[in-house]
Amino acid sequence: MSAALSELVAKALSAAPGLDGRDAALRLAQFIAEDTSRLTTLVEHLAPQLTASAGDLRIRGTQLLANVLKAVDRENPSSVPLARVLPIVQIELLVAFFIDRLRDLPCVPHVLDALTTLASETNLSKEHILSILRTMFAEVHVPTLPFGARYAALNLLLVIVQRYLGFAQTAGADFVYGLVQAIDGEKDPRNLLLAFKLHVLAIRHFPFNMFVEDLAEVVSVYFPITFSPPPNDPYGITREELVLALRDCFVVSPLLAPFLLPTILEKLASTSAKVQSLQTLTACASAFGKVGLAPFLLEIGTQLRGEMFHTGEEDVEKAILETMTAISRVISSGQDQSLFVTFMQPMIVECARHLKEPELKLAHPSASLLQAAAVASSSACEFVLLNSIPMLSEQYNAATDVTVKRANLDLLLGFLKASKSLQVTNEQHPLATYSSVLASIFQSAVSHEHPNVRCAGITGLVGLLIVQGVATAEQISSSLSTFLRLATLDLEQIVRTQATAALAVTVNAEVADLVLTSLSESLTTVTLEQAAARKQLWVILTEISNTPPLLRRTAPLFLNQLQTLLASAVAMPMDTSTTSSPSAAASSSPEQVEFEVVLESVANIVAKGASQQQEVALRPSTLAETILLPVLSLAFSLSAEPGTLGGVVSTNQSVVETLARIVRNIVCAASVQDCSSQLSTAVQTAFAALTDPTTSPIRSVDVNAATSRKILVASAVLCCGPRELVLSLQSDFAAMLPKITLLALHSPDADTRRYCCMMAGAIINHLEDQDLSKHVETALLPQLEQLLRAACTAAPATAAQDQQQRAALALWIWITKALFIRGHALGDRMVSLLLTDCVRAPLLADVAAAPSSFAQQAAESMHTILTDSEEVLSKRTRANFRIMYKQRLFTSKSALIVQGYAATDDEHKQFYLTALSHMLQNVPKQVLLTELPSLLPLLFQSLSHANVGLRLSTINSVYLLLFDAPALLASHTPTLIKHMMALSTSPDSMKLRIAALQCLGLMATALPAQATFPSRNVVVSGLAKAVDDPKRLVRVEAVKARNEWYLLVKSTKG
Amino acid sequence: MPSDIENINPEVVASLSEREHSLAEDDDSVVDPIDQREHPLTLEEIKVAQFEHIRVDDKRNSVEVLFTPTIPHCSMATLIGLCIRVRLLRSLPDRFKVDVRIRPGTHASEAAGKCKYSWSVNKQLNDKERVAAALENDNLLVAVNRCLTPQR
């Protein structure tokens, strides 16, 4: 055994330092860890080295022993601490030996290492700790040691303070003195982090009064921290870390204040580290307290003012104001306000001087400073308001010039806002004293001739109203009537909007009566012919319906009005089929206008409540409770009775879609837990509407005005509900599916066909596998595929056949989407059919007669499949889908497009390009980038294709790629420029020219200058024609693009 | 640094809003008359360039811009004028002759003799060769480009 040991020792000693040496020590350590009695043998073996007179031999011996100790601990297989492995006697011997060796300068680094290991892994006695400290402070001059040794020394001290605090404390002030000596002049950030930690611990746990000044000085020299880590820094020390560690040293004791504050103030004035200085000052303010701050308050005040008036940087300004608040909070606390008054007096005097010229530059910074002081505490706020509000009020009343008045008002608003954020618990709010003064000022402002002043007045009144306990009941009611008056009658849109917003903020359940009574009154007096005024009233009602209690009160107003309007008699327009075109809308009756406005208001309330944003108080459950069922029954019961408004709007597509949107938004957002009763009633109603034996829209393919409406609204309920709900409907869905698909294929009405396709998709998306194979895979799909195959082999002979095939294709596309997004294998096969046979379907001989062919429709399917539809099959509408289906589609099918494009004839190439273009626009860029190089040639082909729509969508794709893959496009810059320049003067469409010019403009900034600069002159002179384009909108884009290219300069970075 | 800025607090006015885009404009067959061209400069907001002082004659291919320095001794007048001129050169079709001048009576050096330079600002601005030479100067070009870089 001894032989094995001596061999290992010899190897370790002769190994070159560095990795080899560590390796050898490790092996040795493993050997010793197996049997710890071998450690004694090791020490005996090392005796010649440890006691050698030659320096390097001794160093090697000590280093080996230190490394082995460290490694034994780490390598110990049972991970038994060193303390239990080594007998106490041995530990004591080792410690005594190492303490003695602290005097041996060349060995000190390794000795410190070994002592650190022993101190952290074993339990040393008090005598040993004191002896280590004493010897170390007496014999080792840390600042002159190399980096590693300094680190070891600081680490040892930290271990001692953390593990043996009680023992170390008996060293008393000596420890503090020694520490100051040890960290003096340290420069390495790694060591500084240790030093700062030790500094804090020393002040917390040791008597340091004798050395306050030294302790302050030893850390203040590092302020402000200017360290910036080198690139690829392996240690990961950040400047922020150092700043915070140093700040901890500063705030640890108020006794340091007299020495640190002058440094901070001096650095604030003289360096560019303003934010760091200010943040440190902020932290110190609360740590040092009144006593610490007192002697420096005047100086601090002067500096803060100086910085505030001269800085132009937002973050510095923010830091100044934070400091101001922190200081104000400290010195305004408690009964004695004298310090605060001393501090604020000069501040008030100087700021008041600037506040007297409210339209000049320094007024705002002055106000901000005072406001920052005011938000700190109630007493501070009181003091600041006393010294500003009366003065500003007086100034406002005396001013005649609009600008001055407005500026004064802005300042007042600032003080109002500041005192608003003050948290007052049981006393009166300081603002209450001034509520009548301010209210009268704001009331006079709202009747000022200048709209901006009126807006500011509104803001002021709102401020008074929303601070608890400031405004009196009388002020509240007069403000609310002011808001109502302005919101309805003011001539300026901006004032009306602002007043409406004010009502939305200030109306709550307590004051709702007042406002609602007044609004209802207006609704009865304003006639339907005064459409704009009525619209504004509905807008106000919409805006204030922003909490559940209010919506419960306003919802009946909206819904009753809708019902009343439907029954009202109107003259039928001449031709009902054109109601959705603009010319018909222009001549719609006042009743219809009103109906649409009210319906849109409800839709807005629902959209807001269903968005589930934090700041919106409305919840889907309230919407379901108040709006869902009434709107649903309204939508189903719309009767096409001629002579009433119901007859007109029941076929108006935009009205029908709005109704469906309202229902869908609520159902999508509602959860079963909160709204089970409403949801189940809604589902019953929807099913009843679809399956009623006499009125069912799906009992035959005969078209009826109500058919498409009922299907759309019913699918909004049935297809978007929570998963639990949809699952419980499985059998009903399966039974309904054949009827729906029949309609999708054969209904003469295009809208009905479309809605049925979507509904079929949504149903199939949720069907269980068993039902799916029974009803879809074996029944429906073969039938559809047969129709598609027919279309793919021969061009349709008749228009009826064409329509039939198109309908089959549309249904196929929606079913494909339904299956593909849920990750069903069928979906994959169906996409392939679309991209192979369907895209290659023969065209009609007369292409001009049918601009959108079957093949085109198949190519457009990528758009339907890849974009999120509002109605069904999206995440929002709770479709059954697996994430990343877009990526899956793209990676598995883009090859089909490339192959298909190469194999097909010229006439059909465009359809592949169209499909590709839709893919590029909808697939996340991470996936695109790998496939893109093979697709780029196709993209460039599309840019010169005759089809305008294709070119347009390709330009859009390129536009998006410029953001996502600039590096790839950069290598094709000349080609791209050639195409875009040609497109920029294309006579085919101005939209093309605009898009191409926007793309060119983006290229100048998105692509690297090395790629674009060589073409600069070509583009600049080429665009000369585009800037003289006959169309204004084109010229605008041409000018933008050309100027971007002019701005290009030769890249200096090469 | 604040001390470098002349006239810190100029009077600020709202800029003219973009002309509304009418539906008829989407029709490719309608030709928009060219004198409805936009004036692209936000110098407008500080009344340096004003809509009233811009004359465009599409038939005769001429554009004349009179600008107003914010204060009579504005040292930036030449640079502003140069920027306006460069912007127009870059934005207008080549067929236009562009004249950029200081509005009479608003600047100390608008005519020769009143200032220490032998060339007045107006003459410098409208001398093609001098403008071309100025843009050869890299430092000046950088300054002009900086003025003309859109704020992003």
User: What does the pLDDT look like over A709-730, one tens digit per residue?
Assistant: 888 888 888 888 888 888 888 8
Task: State the pLDDT at residue A770.
Answer: 86
Q: Does the distance separating the beta carbons of B40 and A1028 come in below 8 Å?
A: no
How far is residue B118 CA from its own chain's centroid?
23
Above 80 in pLDDT, residue A936?
Answer: yes
Q: pLDDT tens digits, residue range A836-894?
A: 888 888 876 655 555 568 888 888 899 999 988 888 888 888 888 888 888 888 888 88
Compare all CA atoms of chain B with the CA of A310 and give the residue at the minimum distance.
B2
Q: Which residues of B touch A1033 (CB under 8 A)?
A: 21, 25
Task: State the pLDDT at residue B27.
Answer: 54
Q: Cα-flanking dihedrals φ and ψ of residue A91, to 5°? A: -60, -45
For range A986-997, the mean pLDDT:
90
pLDDT band with cut points at 50, 70 and 90 for residue A41: confident
Q: Does B58 touch chain A (CB under 8 A)?
A: no
Q: pLDDT tens digits, residue range A218-260?
A: 999 998 888 888 887 788 888 899 999 999 999 999 999 999 9
pLDDT band with cut points at 50, 70 and 90 for residue A158: very high
Q: Which residues of A touch B25 (CB under 8 A)?
A: 1031-1033
Q: Under the phi-then-psi rule, with left for phi > 0, alpha for psi from -120 to 50, and beta for the rest, what region is B119? A: beta
- Please tell me the distance in Å from B111's CA to the nearest CA on chain A: 31
**Tokens matching residue A569:** 């008699």
pLDDT band with cut points at 50, 70 and 90 for residue B1: very low
Task: State the pLDDT at residue A591.
Answer: 85
Which residues 333-372 of A have a C-beta within 8 angstroms of B?
A: 360-361
Above 50 in pLDDT, residue B3?
Answer: no
pLDDT band with cut points at 50, 70 and 90 for residue A72: low
Above 70 in pLDDT, residue B101?
Answer: yes
Higher pLDDT, A281 or B122: A281
Q: Which of A119-128, A162-171, A634-643 has the lowest mean pLDDT?
A: A634-643
pLDDT band with cut points at 50, 70 and 90 for residue A1052: low
Mutation target to probe the B interface, by most B beta carbons within 10 A, among A989, A1021, A1039, A1048 is: A1039
Picking from A310, A1035, A1043, the nearest residue to B148 by CB comes out as A1043
Higher pLDDT, A196 or A71: A196
For range A1011-1019, the mean pLDDT:
90
User: CB–CB of A666/A731 below 8 Å?
Assistant: no
For range A428-448, the mean pLDDT:
87
Residues 6+ apart with CB under 8 A from A572: A642, A643, A647, A648
Task: State the pLDDT at residue A65.
Answer: 82
Measure the CA angle with vertex A646, ends A642 and A651; round to 5°: 85
**Tokens matching residue A249:** 């040293």
Q: Which of A866-875, B53-62, B143-152 has the lowest mean pLDDT?
A: B143-152
Q: Which residues of A touch B10 (CB under 8 A)?
A: none
Task: State the pLDDT at residue B2.
Answer: 38
Compare all CA atoms of chain A with the CA of B138 and give the residue at the minimum distance.
A1049
Mutation target to probe the A interface, by most A beta carbons within 10 A, among B91, B95, B135, B139 is: B91
Above 70 in pLDDT, residue B47?
Answer: no
Picking from A1027, A1030, A1032, the nearest residue to B92 by CB comes out as A1027
Q: Where are the domains of chain A?
A: 1-86, 96-217, 545-566+588-611+619-709, 962-1054
Mutation target to probe the A interface, by most A beta carbons within 10 A, among B28, B56, B151 is: B28
Task: State the pLDDT at residue A711.
Answer: 86
User: CB–CB of A745/A722 below 8 Å?
Assistant: no
Q: Does the distance separating the beta carbons of A989 and B91 come in below 8 Å?
A: no
User: CB–CB of A68/A25 below 8 Å?
Assistant: yes
Task: State the pLDDT at residue B131.
Answer: 85
Q: pLDDT tens digits, residue range A563-582?
A: 888 877 775 554 444 444 44
Mutation target to probe the B interface, by most B beta carbons within 10 A, among A993, A1043, A1045 is: A1043
Task: State the pLDDT at residue A458.
Answer: 92
Picking from A1027, A1030, A1039, the nearest residue to B31 by CB comes out as A1030
- Please tell me the distance in Å from A1030's CA to the nearest CA on chain B: 5
Q: Where are the domains of chain B?
A: 35-148
For range A598-619, the mean pLDDT:
86
Q: Which residues of B touch A1025 (CB under 8 A)?
A: 93
Cα–Cα distance, A485 to B127 (Å, whole number): 60
Task: State the pLDDT at residue A243.
Answer: 92
Cα–Cα distance, A94 to A82 (Å, whole number): 12
Mutation target to probe the A interface, by most A beta carbons within 10 A, among B22, B32, B38 is: B32
Tell me the fold of B35-148: GMP Synthetase; Chain A, domain 3 (3.30.300)
Mutation target to probe the A interface, by most A beta carbons within 10 A, among B12, B90, B141 is: B90
| Three-class secondary structure assignment of A268-316 | HHHCCCHHHHHHHHHHHHHHHHHHHHHHHHHHHHHHHHHHHHHCCCHHH
Higher pLDDT, A28 or B13: A28
Q: Name the amino acid, one letter, at A583.
A: S
Task: State the pLDDT at residue A618.
Answer: 83
Q: Which of A473-487, A1029-1043, B29-43, B64-78 has the lowest mean pLDDT?
A: B29-43
**Tokens matching residue A898:** 């490339």
Query: Which spans in A103-188 are helix H?
Result: 108-121, 126-139, 147-163, 165-169, 173-183
Task: State the pLDDT at residue A642.
Answer: 67
- Please tell me the distance in Å from A265's CA to the nearest CA on chain B: 22
For range B99-123, the mean pLDDT:
65
Task: State the pLDDT at residue B120.
Answer: 73
Q: pLDDT tens digits, residue range A274-289?
A: 899 999 999 999 899 8
A379: nearest Cα among A419, A323, A430, A311: A430
Q: Does the distance separating the beta carbons of A1033 and B25 come in below 8 Å?
A: yes
| Three-class secondary structure assignment of A671-734 | CHHHHHHHHHHHHHHHHHHHHCCCCCCCCCCCCCHHHHHHHHHHHHHHCCCCHHHHHHCHHHHH
Q: Does the distance separating the beta carbons of A361 and B25 come in below 8 Å?
A: no
Q: Does A1035 touch chain B (CB under 8 A)?
A: yes
Compare all CA atoms of chain B with the CA of A1001 and give the residue at the minimum distance.
B150
Query: At which residue do the structure tokens 């609004």 appear?
Result: A519
Compare all CA atoms of chain A with the CA of B94 and give the residue at the minimum distance.
A1024
Task: State the pLDDT at residue B20.
Answer: 59
Average pLDDT for chain A: 85
pLDDT band with cut points at 50, 70 and 90 for residue A1048: confident
Higher pLDDT, A471 or A482: A482
Picking from A1032, A1044, A1047, the nearest residue to B25 by CB comes out as A1032
Task: State the pLDDT at residue A671.
Answer: 85
Task: State the pLDDT at residue A638.
Answer: 78
For range A352-381, the mean pLDDT:
88
Q: What is the CB neighbour count within 10 angstroms for residue A133? A: 22
Picking from B9, B32, B92, the nearest residue to A1031 by CB comes out as B32
Q: Does the distance separating the beta carbons of B149 and A1047 come in below 8 Å?
A: yes
Q: Which residues of A touch B94 (CB under 8 A)?
A: 1024
Task: State the pLDDT at residue A1041.
Answer: 92
- Please tell me the distance in Å from A1032's CA to the nearest CA on chain B: 6
Higher pLDDT, A561 or A2: A561
Task: State the pLDDT at residue A283.
Answer: 93
Q: pLDDT tens digits, residue range A291-337?
A: 888 899 999 999 999 999 888 788 899 999 999 999 999 998 888 88
Task: State the pLDDT at residue A847.
Answer: 53
Compare all CA atoms of chain A with the CA of B22 and give the residue at the minimum distance.
A1033
| Residue A904 burial class via C-beta count within 10 angstroms: exposed 0-12, middle 13-18, buried 19 and up | middle
Task: State the pLDDT at residue B36.
Answer: 37
Q: What is the CB neighbour count within 10 angstroms for residue A1030? A: 14
Q: Which residues of A touch B36 (CB under 8 A)?
A: 1032
